[in-house]
Amino acid sequence: MAGFFAKLKEGLTKTRQNFVEKVEQVFTGRKKIDEDLYEELEEVLIRSDVGVTTSFELVERLRKEVKQRKLSEPSELTQVLQELIAELLGEEVQLNIAEQGPSIILIVGVNGVGKTTTIGKLANRFKNEGKRVILAAGDTFRAAAIDQLEVWGERCGVEVIKQKEGADPAAVAYDAVQAAKSRNIDVVIVDTAGRLHNKVNLMEELRKVKRVIEREIPGAPQEVLLVLDATTGQNALQQAKLFQEVAGVTGIVLTKLDGTAKGGVVLGIQGETRIPVKWIGIGEGMDDLRPFVPKDFAAALFGRADEEGER
Amino acid sequence: MFQGLSDKLQETFKRLKGKGKLKEADVNEAMREVRVALLEADVNFKVVKDFVAKVKERSIGLDVLESLSPAQQVIKIVHEEMITLMGGATGKILIASKPPTVIMLIGLQGAGKTTHAAKLANMLNKQGKHPLLVACDIYRPAAIKQLQVLGEQLKLPVFSMGQESPVEIAKASLKHANSNGQDVVIIDTAGRLHINEELMGELRDIKTAVKPHEILLVVDAMTGQDAVNVAESFHKELGLDGVILTKLDGDTRGGAALSIKAVTGCTIKFAGMGEKMDAIEPFHPDRMASRILGMGDVLTLIEKA
Ligand SMILES: Nc1nc2c(ncn2[C@@H]2O[C@H](COP(=O)(O)OP(=O)(O)OP(=O)(O)O)[C@@H](O)[C@H]2O)c(=O)[nH]1
Ligand SMILES: Nc1nc2c(ncn2[C@@H]2O[C@H](COP(=O)(O)OP(=O)(O)OP(=O)(O)O)[C@@H](O)[C@H]2O)c(=O)[nH]1
Ligand SMILES: [Mg+2]
Ligand SMILES: [Mg+2]
């Protein structure tokens, strides 16, 4: 199985050169730590979608560290900055799985980010761990969304609980939870229709889906995962805030990291919401899901993937 | 943050008393605020640099007017420059003199290609055309079905050949259109990364085979700094005729619009405003400029002055 970095590397070959050179210039191509260096660093961060505010903050923290640790070599800074970023991203967080009875995972996010695909990948993972999994076709709105989930169900050998197109998503979730309870299922993953966070009635619909799950199993849903597309810019912050408000997001899945986008926006999200990133998506295949490792991500943000080992 | 730009510029220029010309130092400070506002709106870093330089050039030496505060004057310049940059003919599909007109939609995964293929078909159908939708996404689970369902909703024909090679499907669809009196062929392609050489090659092959009149790049309006890399690659490989900017019914600032236009020069023809089949509009550069700046009201005031 191709490792996280091998895959990233594959994806980044074209833009990497340019980018790495730039970073190298920032840190090693100069003799002292000066204003220019900090400015260029800011640029590197902003280009990765980290956002102006968070980029400024990170550079501020770096300045402090430089003073405290009495650093003078620009080449020492890469490490420090990676540490700061990893620290901001927090520890690696495992999925919360119920000790007994079924765990319900609710998948939410705006349109086209990769929710349904991520469900296929997660189902595959759980299945390989020997868990009993079912999927709930809670996207009853988008054309052929149910068929799409069914294809994934077939691929992983997992049953899909569904109703007709146009049905109430909360009713589908209810059916799935009942099925899980009566059939000794370990994990239920609930798909939902893509919805923009600024659409009030669609967000209310989501609230209702969650309420039904809460009512049927105490402590459920064990996870509400917000799927974010790594190509997204600063709007991702709004997405995180509003989905958290309505659905109580417990983790983020950052998809499409196999492209050239860096997904730096999750740094800003960390600063403002503290929702941990739990998984990353690095392709369209069943195996293209990896646990999120803050330290590795921090390195990849700087195009330094080539220097790290395989996972 | 963005209501902010106007306030911050007011603050910046507060020291300016009475009339006179804007000095470089004043303008520099103002440009810092403009730069931050644009970056926070996801306008690409490099594009921001060039853009700010242009605005700065126009702002230095500006006479401070009675009717407008310096802050308002600078915002007016920013707004005008944005419209100039994003301007050009919009909302039109070039209809071929000899039918069928072939339109091909391409872009990253999940951008809205399939949805907009159907929306375009619906729009052209209402204009009296007879469109044929063509399912060339043989990879994504249920992609063909998705297009079929949309076609059914619209009562418009969908051409598919299962998992046959997309080039063959595209070729066959032209024949099919010719013999069935369909004068517009809209090809839906699979989402792909701009760095995937194999799949980019497939698009080139489709292009060679069917010579589309319009190759439209479908871009999610929420895209961040990477929008320029994506647009540049697709443009270089295929030669774009235009862009469809989708999901503008969200609350994104949509700085990607400015970035894409700046690096490719391609006009943004349509704006996607929702998931429904009639949620497509001609793109309006002036509205987009106000949106990126997040200041519709302020601008209306300035325009009246
Ligand atoms: N390159 C890449 N593509 C991905 C990844 N995850 C999903 N995709 C693709 O992105 C597109 C959208 O994925 P979906 O899973 O349908 O997204 P969704 O969020 O369920 O979409 P809606 O239900 O329409 O809101 C598909 O073409 C997927 O194959 C990823 O990690 N990398
Ligand atoms: N809110 C909103 N949603 C949109 C818009 N355009 C498309 N969508 C939604 O975005 C998601 C992805 O749209 P698709 O048309 O499947 O995108 P695609 O580019 O064909 O995706 P792939 O074939 O997987 O690459 C779906 O949930 C659509 O309903 C829009 O303008 N506004
Ligand atoms: Mg889906
Ligand atoms: Mg599609």
Average pLDDT of chain B is: 91
Does the beta carbon of A282 lie inside 6 Å of ligand 1? yes
The CATH class for the domain spanning A4-89 reads mainly alpha
Q: For residue A284, is pLDDT > 50?
A: yes
Question: Is A256 annotated as ligand-binding?
Answer: yes
**Helix pair angle (A294-301, A4-27), 10° resolution:** 50
Alpha helices in B213-279 (DSSP H): 227-238, 256-264
Q: B87: pLDDT confidence band, cut at 50, 70 and 90?
A: confident
pLDDT tens digits along B162-197: 999 999 999 999 999 999 999 999 999 999 999 999
Q: Tell whether omega for the bond before B212 is within 30 degrees of 0, i.e. cis.
A: no
A307 compared with B214, residue with greater pLDDT: B214
- ipTM attached to this prediction: 0.95
- Under 8 Å between Cβ of A32 and B207: no
Cα within 13 Å of Cα(A215), Cβ side: 11
What topology is assigned to A103-293 in CATH? Rossmann fold (3.40.50)
Please give the C-alpha separations between residue B150 and each of B43, B134, B176, B283, in angstroms, as whole numbers. 33, 12, 19, 23
The CA angle B60-B62-B68, to the nearest 5 degrees, is: 130
What Rg value do the Cα atoms of chain B yield, rounded?
A: 22
Q: For residue A247, is pLDDT > 80?
A: yes
Confidence at residue A162, expressed as pLDDT on a 0 to 100 scale: 98
Name the percent of chain A lying above pLDDT 90. 74
Range from A40-54, A93-107, B18-32, B133-147 carrying the lowest mean pLDDT: B18-32
pLDDT tens digits along A47-87: 999 999 999 999 999 999 999 999 988 888 888 998 999 99
Q: Which residues contact A267 (CB under 8 A, 6 or more apart)?
A: A50, A51, A54, A58, A85, A88, A89
The owner of tokens 């405003």 is B273
Does the beta carbon of A233 lie inside 6 Å of ligand 1? no
Nearest to B229 among A51, A234, A260 (CB): A260
CA dist., res. A259 & res. A230, Å (int): 8
Q: For residue A175, is pLDDT > 90?
A: yes
> Which atom of ligand 2 sits closest to the CA of residue B107?
19
Question: Is A193 annotated as ligand-binding?
Answer: yes
Residue nearest (by alpha carbon) to ligand 2 atom 6:
B112
A114 CA to centre of ligand 3 in angstroms: 7
A160 compared with A34, residue with greater pLDDT: A160
> Which atom of ligand 1 sits closest to the CA of residue A119?
15
pLDDT tens digits along B149-163: 999 999 999 999 999
A96 compared with B296, residue with greater pLDDT: A96
Q: For residue A310, is pLDDT > 50?
A: no
Domain locations along chain A: 4-89, 103-293
Our CA-based measurement puts residue A150 at a distance from the nearest CA of chain B, in whole angstroms, of: 9
Range from A69-73, A98-102, A204-208, B20-24 carrying the lowest mean pLDDT: B20-24
B256 to chain A, any CB pair closer than 8 A? The answer is yes
Confidence at residue A99, expressed as pLDDT on a 0 to 100 scale: 86
Q: Determine how many CB atoms are found less than 10 A away from the CB of residue B294.
A: 18
Q: For residue A15, is pLDDT > 70?
A: no
Q: B126: pLDDT confidence band, cut at 50, 70 and 90?
A: very high
Our CA-based measurement puts residue B111 at a distance from the nearest CA of chain A, in whole angstroms, of: 7
The average pLDDT across A284-302 equals 91
**Tokens standing for residue A106:** 């609710």
Q: Give, rounded to a whole angstrom, the gap between the first and last alpha carbons of chain A.
A: 10
B1 compared with A253, residue with greater pLDDT: A253
Q: For residue A180, is pLDDT > 50?
A: yes
Confidence at residue B299, expressed as pLDDT on a 0 to 100 scale: 62
B113 CA to centre of ligand 4 in angstroms: 5
Confidence at residue B39, expressed as pLDDT on a 0 to 100 scale: 95
CA dist., res. B252 & res. A110, Å (int): 12
Which pTM was predicted?
Answer: 0.94
Our CA-based measurement puts residue A246 at a distance from the nearest CA of chain B, in whole angstroms, of: 17
The owner of tokens 């069943």 is A286
Q: Tell whether omega for the bond before A221 is within 30 degrees of 0, i.e. cis.
A: yes
B138 CA to centre of ligand 4 in angstroms: 10
Question: Is A194 annotated as ligand-binding?
Answer: yes
The average pLDDT across A147-170 equals 98
Confidence at residue B302, expressed as pLDDT on a 0 to 100 scale: 64
Question: CA nearest A304: which of A168, B279, A296, A152?
Answer: A296
The average pLDDT across B257-285 equals 95
pLDDT tens digits along B40-55: 999 999 999 999 999 9
Confidence at residue B202, expressed as pLDDT on a 0 to 100 scale: 98
A residues 137-166 closer than 8 Å to B (CB): 141-145, 147-148, 150-152
Q: Give, rounded to a whole angstrom, the gap between the first and last alpha carbons of chain B.
A: 25
- Under 8 Å between Cβ of A158 and A122: no
B39 to chain A, any CB pair closer than 8 A? The answer is yes
